[in-house]
Structure formats: structure tokens, C-alpha cells
Amino acid sequence: MDTMAAIKQTFFQECEEQLAELEEGLLAIEREEGDLETINAVFRAVHSIKGGAGAFGLDDLVRFAHTFETTLDGMRSGKLEITPQIVKLMLRSADILSDLVRISRDGGEMDAGRVAQMTDELARTGGAGPVAPAAAAPQPPAFEPLAAGEAEPQVDEFGFAPVQISFDTLIADDEAAGIRQAVHIRFTPKPELYAKANDALRLLRELGRLGEMEVSCDASAVPLLGELDPEGAYLTWDITLTGDLDEKAVREVFEFVEFDCDLSIDTAVAGPVMDESDAAQTVQAILAQVAAEEAAGQERHAAPQAEAPAPVRAAPPAAQAASAAPQQAANSQAPQPGATIRVDLDRVDRLIDLVGELVINQSMLAQRVMEAGIARLSDVAVGLDDLEHLTREIQDSVMAIRAQPVRPIFQRMSRVVREVADMTGKSVRLVTEGENCEVDKTVIERLADPLTHMIRNAIDHGLEKPEDRLAAGKPEQGVVRMVAAHRSGRVVIEVSDDGAGINRSRVRQIAVDRGIVAEDAQLSDAEIDDLIFAPGFSTAAAISDVSGRGVGMDVVRRSIQALGGRITITSRPGLGTTFTLSLPLTLAVLDGMVVNVAGQTLVVPLSAIVETLQPKAQDVHGLGEKARVIGIRGAFIPLIDVGCVLGYRDEEADPLASVAMMVETENQSQCALLVDGIVGQQQVVIKSLETNYGHVFGVAGATILGDGRVAVILDVDAIVAGSRAEAARMDANRKRSAA
């Protein structure tokens, strides 16, 4: 049971991969970049899903996959012309297939009407319908020509005269499926039977299990030794089987070989029948014969190895073509995928941990060597330098194990584009670049929601309606571009549209109406554009079902920041809008600012820090009992003493002897965190505190510094929120004591 559950999980994983491949292939076909192998791959993807689904009895999935597959087969065989309409239909079918897979996995109701309608549409392409594949088969279903075809060269060469099979008896199969007392079988294997690694002896043994068996062998066709072909077949077996016999079971024994032998199964004879004309051979003699034939068989197997040119059977031309085609396809497929193995993620993470430790150990060792006064150019120091390079390389390689291309997530977006385009009645083309760009697996997983929202936003708000585009002299079809690239140790993803750009006066007005900015605020264009990330901002005057899911761009920004990333927007009126995401390559590593607070070393995520500055006396102001603010460019920003918030000290530090780090929090408010001093910037490996301890307020995690000591990583949002809560508590206390 457990095994089946595990296999089922494998099945669904595999479905995801197949669905991605399906979509990728269809999109390539849509771009007219597909070749025969693309169509084959697309067909295989659906075929595979169907195969697995059948094994798990997922009937709805099997049915739809079958219809879909049949249409794709029509495409493959050239019966169905590939038009943009057909490809669109295929893409929509892929979406339905994907939904069916999801529902099979997670449960839920499928919109049966949608499936039925799509099935219908597929059927109407002419390629589909359960009857079609049989009709499409080039081979007539008749058996005779096949049998004749099988009996080719050797037969003529060696004068082998096949006895005609009585097809009447074979076809009369159904009515004969009863219990008989005795069955007489005459079985003459052809060379083909052996060529297919089948064996008469084994079949006789299997027959023997069905009832009492008497066998006689007609060896009259065996030629003289000199003429004997080791690959030939010369014996005929007469078998009488007695007992409670199911004729179907008897026929099943010969199921695999019925075209590679002459076979008659006579059920009409009641009672055992001995062949009187031939000298009746004893069973012992028969078995000796069987053994002899088996020995001949072994010789046959050995023969090709002894003789240099192995006797290759002339393959039928059709089969030759079949084998040639895939090889050709393999050659035309440009990059062969490298061999892969699947590894448990825990093992990779353990390796990453160990390598992180190695890096620290190496730097500690280097420090000790320096302290010991060993010369920089000594062998020891040079050896240590090499070790450092090696260690860094190992670290990079290990990190790369977790990296995956962004391709699957980009592919998911093409579906989003189709759906939103349908819903909004806009015509949209998605252009993607840099799908092979690699990012940490976890980063990729968490990118889906923000990207979906950005794409929706770009189509819904960014692109104009077709008529407006035409009026503006633009092509009717809008373009959404999604580009990924590596830039200075980070991955940058741009989502841009060629729409109208941000309507700044409207954005500004909304922000004023919602109380996000003051009526008389002086805002640059960039600052206005940035307003759409403000919490509570939603540009749609009437919230559409597309973007208006109660999620705004503020949530997008927050989830990107949670990944240690940043999101910015640029817009040009009439030309379009671009969102730029900048993300760390991995979540296991963080760019941090190492700081000192109350004798402790802390790490502040660099992504949160806007700027650092040395507070001047005239800029720091007391506000109320305990609170202090700092004036920066005319704005007053709360000052938070990190040491106090973390409970490292009770008395607040002197701001003039400290450093203020301007940070941006999830709700866009700015705060200044007061620390004693800055040590420097450093990339640190993030360690979990939760594994062995638990969550700690104000702490996002821990890391191990070069000296082997643990340093905690600050959770900036929590620190800011915590200091607000503290202020509120003090207010409440004050009010209580005043009352």
C-alpha cells in the first residue's frame, strides 16, 4: 500500500514534468519552431500521463488524455494540419489536462461541462474519436498478409512449407470457450519463433500445467546435418491435452507466437487421440528430443559469437523506417540532456551545511597561521591560499546543486497570460528570455505567486484595449516580456509590457484620496510610480476579477522582500511599464551588514538597508517621554535602539556615538536602527535557529562568522513592529497613570 502511495506521488511529480514539456512543446510549435520530434515529445507527454493514470484508475484523466492523444496523433501523422487555431486548441486542452491532474491529486470537482466541451472540440478536429486511430493505421487488421510476410526469406531458402493454419478455428474462438475433455494441438514453430527468443519447449511446459499431456514429435522435416540451418525450425509437435480445459487458457499459451508458428487447436475430438500413422514415440523419447532441440537452441545462441559476421535478419522495410526515424530525431535534438540523478533535498542541505563549516574552518585556520607569524610567501601560506580557492569552488558547486532553471515557472506564466487575455478580451503575446537562468529551488517556488500577480497586472492594467492600441498606432496584439538574467551575483527578472505606461496623475490622485500621500506632497515621477506598491493602493477604479483579488502590489513587494529581493518599477508614458525583480541566487546565503550592538555581533540583511549615516546632534530630536526621531531631508524618522529592543541593554545608546541604518519595512515605512558600529558587508550562510531551539523574537536566523562564532541575523520588520508595540504599551501605561 505504501509502495503504491509512493508510486502515485511519483506519478503526479512526473505529470508536472510532462505537463511542462507538453506546454513547452506546444509553445514551440506555436512559434513555428517545432519539428517532428517536438510533436513526438508532446504526444509522449500526454501518452505517459494517460498510461500512469490508467494504472491508478483515474478514469476521467484517462478519457480526456485519450481524446487529446488521439488528436495529437493526427497531428503527428500529418492527418491533421497544424494551424494556429489547432495549436490554440491544444494549449487550452493542455490547461484542462493540467486541471484534471491537479484535481486527481488534490481532490475537488472538475467542471464537467468544460471537459465535455473541449472533448467535443477535439473530436471535431477530425483527428480524434476513438475509432480514428484504427482507421489511421496503415496496416489492415487482417492477419493473413502478416503471417505470409513473416514466412519470408529463410522459408524459401530451406524449402520450408508452412501448413496452412485453420483460421476458421482461430476465429471460432469465442463460442468454443467452454470446458472440453480433450484438445488436440498441432504446433509447428517457424524460425521466427526462435528469432524472437521464444521457445517451443517452454510453451509445452506451460501447456503441461493445464492438464494431462501427451506429446509426439514429428521430426520428418529435419534435413541432413549438412543442410541443417542452426537458425531453422524443423519439428512439428502433436499434443493431446486432457482434463478440465478452458480453451481460452490453451490459446493464451500460444498468444505470443500465433503468427510465428503453424497451429491448429482441435477441440472437437473427445477423448485422447493417438497418432497411429507415425510410430508412437514414448514420452521419454520426446523429452530426449526436446533436450536435443534445446541444445541446438543453445548452439544457436552461441553461434553468432563464434562467426564474425552475425547473421542479421533482414528487417521488414517498415520496421527499418521505424528505427531510423527516432535516431534521426535524436540527432536533430540539439542539446542532449545530461544524465541526472534524484537526490533527497535533505542530503543536499546537509552537504551545504558541511561545506559552510569547511569554509569557516579554513578561514579560522588561515587566521591562526597569520597569528603564528608565518610569512605570506611561505609554503604553508601558499598552500592555504590554494585551499581557500578550492573551498570556495566547492561551496559554489554545492550551491549550484540546489539551483534550477526558471523555465518551469516561466512556462506557468504562459497559461496565466492565456487566461487573463481571454478574460479581458485583449490579445497578448508572451515573450520570454533567459529561461535557463538558474536560481535556488526555494526561490523559484516562491516566485510563482508574485510573478502571476505581476503578469495579471501587466495585462489588466498595463496593456490597452485592442481598439485603443490601434488608435495609438500600435499593433493590436500587446506584448508582455519576461526576461531573466544573472547580474552581479543576483538574478534579475524583468516583467514588462508595451502598454500605455502608468497614468501618474490618476495614481497620484488615488494615493491622495486614500490618504497615502499628502495633497501638497512634492513627488518625483519615480516616487509616484512607487506608490502602487503602497498598502491599500489599488488602481482599478472598478476592481476587475483579474487583478482585484484583494491582493495588491504591496503584497508582491513584501513577498519579494521576504526572499531577500527588491522590486522596482519604471514606466514611460505611451511605451509601457517594467517591473524589475532582483533576487539572491540562493536563500541559503544572504548579503549582510555585520554590525556591533552592546558587545554582540549581529547581521542585518542588506536588502532591508536603504542607507547608513552618522547622526548629527542637530538632527536628533526627543519626541515625548522616550521616543527619538532623526531628521533626514526634512522628514522625521523614528530612531530605534537595536540593543534595547533585543534586551541586550536597558539604557539607550548615545545616538551621536552610534550609526543609524535607514531601513525599509514591509509596510513601506522607514525607520532608523541605531547600532554601535559597522564591521562590514559580508555574504553569510543562513542557519536555522528553529531546528534546535525555536523562534526568537527579532531574529530571522543565525549564521556562523569567520571566527566560528554564531551571530544572529536581525528580523528588521519584527524589530520595527516590536518597538512600535513597546511605544504603544508605554502610551497605555501613561494614560492609565494619568487617569
Partner 1 sequence: MTHAREHDAAANNELIAFRLGSQEFCLDIMSVRDIRGWTPTTPLPHACEYVKGVINLRGAVLPVVDLAARLGFAPVEPSARHVIIITQVGNQTIGLLVDAVSDILTVSSGSIQATPDVASELARAFMKGVIAMEGRMLSLIALDSVLTQNQAGQGLPN
Partner 2 sequence: MAKTILTVDDSRTIREMLKAALMDAGMEVVQAEDGVHGLEVLETCEPDVIITDINMPRMDGFGFIEAVRGSGRHRAIPILVLTTESVDDKKDRARRAGASGWIIKPFDPVKLVTAINRVAA
Report CA-CA distances (Å) from 31 to 36, 74, 426: 14, 20, 19
Scanning residues 237 to 266, which ones bind partner 2 (CB under 8 A)?
253, 255-256, 259-260
CA atoms within 13 A on the CB side of 76: 22
Phi, psi angles (nearest 5°) of residue 694: 160, 180
Least distance CB 74 / partner 2 (angstroms)? 14
What CA–CA distance (Å, rounded) separates 237 from 204? 9
Residues 49/18, Cβ–Cβ less than 8 Å: yes
DSSP category for residue 595: E
User: Binding partner 1 by CB under 8 A: which of 320, 333, 681, 688?
Assistant: 688
The piece of 328-336, 355-363, 479-487, 613-621 that touches partner 1 (CB under 8 A) is 355-363
**The Cα angle at residue 517 between residues 513 and 521, in degrees rounded to 5:** 115
**Using CB distances below 5 to 8 A depending on partner kind, what does residue 704 bind out of partner 1, partner 2, none?**
partner 1
Regarding 689 and contact with partner 1 (CB under 8 A), the answer is yes
| Of 198 and 601, CB closest to partner 1 | 601
Contact criterion met (CB below 8 Å) for 501 and 577: yes
Q: Is residue 7 involved in binding partner 2 (CB under 8 A)?
A: yes
Which region, judged by CB under 8 A, interacts with partner 1, from 35-43, 218-226, 441-449, 706-714? 706-714
- How far is it, in rounded angstroms, from Cα 405 to Cα 345? 17
- Whole-angstrom distance, CA of residue 526 vs CA of residue 94: 41
| Residue from 112, 134, 224, 341 binding partner 2 (CB under 8 A) | 134
Residue 357 found at the interface with partner 1 (CB under 8 A): yes
Site string for partner 2, 713-732 (x = CB under 8 A): --------------------
The interface with partner 1 within residues 194-213 (CB under 8 A) comprises: none
- Give min distance, CB of 321 to partner 2, in A: 10
Residues 280-319 that bind partner 2 (CB under 8 A): 300-301, 304-305, 310, 312-313, 315-316, 318-319
Size of the residue set binding partner 1 (CB under 8 A): 29
Positions in 626-685 near partner 1 (CB under 8 A): 646-648
502 or 702: whose CB is closer to partner 1?
A: 702
For residues 137 and 345, which CB has a smaller minimum distance to partner 2 in the complex? 137
Please give the grid coordinates belonging to residue 446.
Answer: 516562491
Using the minimum distance from each CB to partner 1, give the nearer residue, 165 or 352: 352
Phi, psi at residue 639, to the nearest 5°? -100, 130
Our finding on whether 61 is near partner 1 (CB under 8 A) is no
How far is Cα 74 from Cα 682, in angstroms, rounded to an integer? 59
- 203-232 footprint of partner 2 as x/- string (CB under 8 A): x-xx--------------------------
Q: Is the dihedral of CA 720, 726, 729, 731 positive or negative?
A: negative
573 binds partner 2 (CB under 8 A): no
The 10 Å CB-count burial string (b at 16+, else e) for 700-729 is bbbbbbeeeeebbbbbbbbbbbbbeeebee
User: Binding of partner 1 at residue 696 (CB under 8 A)?
Assistant: yes
DSSP state of 549: S
SS3 content of the chain, % helix, strand, coil (to 5): 50, 20, 30
Pick out residues in 382-401 that bind partner 1 (CB under 8 A): none
Annotate 306-319 with DSSP letters as a single string.
Answer: HSSS-------HHH
SS3 21: helix
CA-to-CA dists, residue 241 to 125, 207, 208, 270, angstroms: 53, 8, 8, 11
Specify the pairing of strand 478-487 against strand 428-433.
parallel
Q: Is 11 in the site for partner 2 (CB under 8 A)?
A: yes
Neighbour-count burial for 245-279, b at 16+ CB within 10 Å, e otherwise: bebeebbebbeebebbbbbbbebeeeeeeeeeeee
Nearest to partner 2 of 50, 558 (CB atom): 50
Q: How far apart are CA 258 and CA 4, in angstroms?
A: 35
Least distance between partner 2 and beta carbon 344 (Å): 16
Tell me which of partner 2, partner 1, none is bound by residue 692, counting a contact when its beta carbon lies within the kind-specific cut-off of 5 to 8 angstroms: partner 1
Q: For residue 695, state whether it binds partner 1 (rule: CB under 8 A).
A: yes
Query: Of 36, 51, 264, 649, which lies in the binding site for partner 2, with binding defined by CB under 8 A?
Result: 51
Residue closer to partner 1, measured from CB, 449 or 707: 707
Neighbours of 445 (CB within 10 A): 12
48 binds partner 2 (CB under 8 A): yes
The mark string for 591-630 relative to partner 1 (x by CB under 8 A, - otherwise) is ---------xx-----------------------------
Number of residues lying near partner 2 (CB under 8 A): 62
Residue 318, binding choice from partner 1, partner 2, none, Cβ under 5 to 8 Å by partner class: partner 2
Residue 535 lies near partner 2 (rule: CB under 8 A): no
Beta carbons of 521 and 470 less than 8 angstroms apart? no
CB of 90 to partner 2, least distance (A): 18
Contacts of 589 (CB under 8 A, 6+ apart): 399, 683, 684, 685, 686
709 binds partner 1 (CB under 8 A): yes
Question: What is d(CA 138, CA 120) in angstroms, rounded to the nearest whole number?
Answer: 26
254: its cell numbers: 500460444
Residue 693 binds which one of partner 2, partner 1, none, with CB within 5 to 8 A depending on kind? partner 1
Instruction: Please tell me whether residue 710 binds partner 1 under the rule CB under 8 A.
Output: yes
Q: Which residues bind partner 2 (CB under 8 A)?
A: 3-4, 6-7, 10-11, 13-14, 37, 40-41, 43-44, 47-48, 50-52, 54-55, 130, 133-134, 137-139, 141, 146, 149-150, 195-199, 201-203, 205-206, 253, 255-256, 259-260, 300-301, 304-305, 310, 312-313, 315-316, 318-320, 322-323, 326-327, 330
Q: Which residues bind partner 1 (CB under 8 A)?
A: 353-354, 356-357, 360, 600-601, 646-648, 687-689, 691-699, 702, 704, 708-712
